[in-house]
Structures are given as C-alpha cells and as structure tokens.
Amino acid sequence: MATAGVMGKRRLERENQAYGATGGVSQHNRCFGFRPAFKDGETGAIYPSLNASGSPCPFHCLDGLPAEVVTERGTGGQVVCVKPTLEAGFEREGEFFTRAQAAELVARGENETR
C-alpha cells in the first residue's frame, strides 16, 4: 500500500489540493504551454502524463508511465505506486518544471520559457 512520501494517487490528490488555486495544476497553467509530466530524480528522465492507452492526458495520470518506474499495480492493472524518485510537475518545450516553479511563473504572468 502507498505511503505518504511515495508517489501514488493519494499524493497526487494532496498536491492538487495544495496547488489548486495556482499555476501548479494543469487547469491553471495549460494556456502557458505547460503539460503534465513526471521527472525521475534518480535518472533525470521526464515522462509525459499519458492515459493507459498511451494518449496524452490533460492531468497527472500514473497509468501511462513505463513499467520501469511502476512499483505496484492494482488487481485491474492500474498503477497504484511508482518509484519514490518520481515527482509530478510539468514539461514545457523539453524542460521540466516543478509544481512550485510552474505556479510561480503563472503568478508572474510569464508565458516565456527561461
């Protein structure tokens, strides 16, 4: 079972609540060119958020992540937990932004990459 520090559905829900009124969630930063993604702090790999079918997802979805980062699946095959080194954030023009970084850029009204 997922714990508080491990990336899973509950952690994504808590992060969405914490950043709910900011540019740290997809609905508030999409117009700035941000796309939900995950970054592996161990390897530096960035994974776009995908549905289980492999199509782009407009919010953070664990089901489209590759097998090498999945640590637990439910009985129906859905991803329950992933490597603890994964962080939810956003990709824009090949660069990864944490939720806090995206929120800050949106608050400043910055629509340009660094």
Structure tokens at 15: 């992060």
Measured between alpha carbons, how far is 103 from 23 in angstroms, rounded to an integer? 4
Q: pLDDT band for position 96 (50/70/90)? A: very high
Measured between alpha carbons, how far is 103 from 64 in angstroms, rounded to an integer? 24
Measured between alpha carbons, how far is 18 from 55 in angstroms, rounded to an integer? 27
Give pTM, 2 decimals. Answer: 0.89
Q: pLDDT band for position 7 (50/70/90)? A: confident
pLDDT computed for residue 6 by the predictor: 75
Mean residue pLDDT across the chain: 91
pLDDT computed for residue 109 by the predictor: 87
Quick: pLDDT tens for 30-77. 999 999 999 999 999 999 999 999 999 999 999 999 999 999 999 999
